[in-house]
């Protein structure tokens, strides 16, 4: 049996495509909250959206699948993801 919180991870995703000005951050926040994740979605000057989400590994994998799926606002061309140990310090899920 693993220790409490041992399966918590941090997903860092860079979303490329037409993802600004289309409600993408709001949509991402809604999906993340439904999955019980904390973190943020932030617009970047180069047109990408930076998503950082922490929580149980299965929920983070689900969010990544949703980001790559066809149901997002706008149009996603590519999602580049990295995985890290959870660090904490991300209350709720916010748009930045």
Mean pLDDT, rounded, for 76-87: 97
Write 41-48 long-range contacts (CB < 8 A, 24+). Answer: 41/93, 41/94, 41/95, 41/96, 42/95, 42/96, 43/96, 47/16, 47/19, 47/20, 48/14, 48/15, 48/16, 48/19
Name the active-site residue from 25, 29, 31, 48: 25
The 10s digit of each residue's pLDDT in 5-47 is 559 999 999 999 999 999 999 999 999 999 999 999 999 999 9
Model pTM score: 0.92
**25 counts as catalytic:** yes
8, 10, 18, 43: which is the annotated catalytic residue?
43
Q: Which two tokens stand for residue 21?
A: 């000005």
Distance, C-alpha 60 to centroid of its chain: 7
81 forms beta bridges with: 13
Size (the chain), residues = 96
Tens of pLDDT, residues 55-66: 999 999 999 999
């Amino acid at each position: 049996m693993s220790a409490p919180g041992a399966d918590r991870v941090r997903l860092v995703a860079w979303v490329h495509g037409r993802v600004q000005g289309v409600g993408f951050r709001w949509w991402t926040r809604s999906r993340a909250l439904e999955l019980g994740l904390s973190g943020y979605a932030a617009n970047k000057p180069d047109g990408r959206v930076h998503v950082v989400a922490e929580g149980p590994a299965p929920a983070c994998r689900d969010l990544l699948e949703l980001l790559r799926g066809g149901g997002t606002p706008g149009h996603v061309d590519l999602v580049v993801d990295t995985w890290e140990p959870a660090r904490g310090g991300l209350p709720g899920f916010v748009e930045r």
